[in-house]
Amino acid sequence: MKRLSVCIATYNGESYLQEQLKSILDQLRYDDEVIVSDDGSTDHTLTIIESFHDSRIRVLHSARPKSPVSNFEHALSHAKGEYIFLSDQDDIWFPNKVNLVLGYLKKYDLVVHDCKIQKDGRVVGSYFSDSNSGSGLIKNLLKNTFLGNCMAFRRNVLLHALPFPEDIPMHDMWIGLVATLYGKVYFIRNKLSIWRRHDHSFLNKYRLKTSVVTKLKFRIILIKSIIRLLFRKARG
C-alpha cells in the first residue's frame, strides 16, 4: 500500500496546473502517488502532466465526462494510499502542508485546513473566515464548510464514502459528512494553500450554478443518502 495518494480532477487546467503539480510533488516521497482523473481536456493539460516524467503520477480518463463529482470519484476509486489528499488543478500547496496535515491525521480521520483565497492575483481573504468553517453534522448540512482542496483523510473514510450516491451535490460535502458520522474530524486553523478563484474554474462554476430550490433539493438528497448509508452499515 502507498503511504499517501493525492487525487486531482482535471479539465482544461493548463493555466495553473504546472505550478500546482510542482508544489505537490516537491513534498512527496518515492512511495507516494498522484492520481489524476482527466475529464476530456482539449487544451495542453495532459501534455503538461506528461512533461514531468514522474513515475508517481498516474493519469486516468473519466468515465462520465463533464461531472466533477464523478471525476473525483474515479480518481479516489484508484487511490492506494493510507492517507488521501484532495487537490484542485489550480491551487498552490505551501511547502509545509503535507507534513503538518499528516501529523494531524495520526489523531483524526479527516482534517480540513484553512487557505488563502486569491482572485486576480491578490489575496482577498481566507476560507475559514469567509465560510465560518467548523465541524458538526447539522452545521454542514445547513451550510457546507468542507472544502475539497483543503481536505485530507484516512483510508477508512474512503471505504465508507465510496461508491458515491447518485446526485450528491459535491464530493467534498459527502466525504466530510461521512467522516463526521464514522470518525473524528478536525479543522486546522493554519493556512496551507492558495485557492485561486477565477472565471475559468470548472468547479467554481459548478458550485455557483445553484438556486435556493436546488440547494434545498441537494440537502434532501444528502439526508436520504446518509440514512441509506447508516441502514446499510447497520445491516452489516
Q: What are the tens digits of pLDDT across the range 153-175?
A: 999 999 999 999 988 989 999 99
Which regions of the chain are under pLDDT 50?
205-206, 208
Pairing of strands 2-10, 81-87: parallel
Q: Which residue, chain included where needed, has cell 440537502?
A: 219
Please give the tally of structural domains in the chain.
1
Domain range for 225 is: 2-234
pLDDT of residue 236: 66
Q: Are 148 and 86 in contact (CB under 8 A)?
A: yes
pLDDT of residue 212: 76
Cell of 171: 464530493
- CATH of residue 34's domain is 3.90.550.10
Q: How far apart are CA 28 and CA 130, in angstroms?
A: 30
Q: Helix (H, G, I), strand (E, B), or coil: what is residue 140?
A: helix
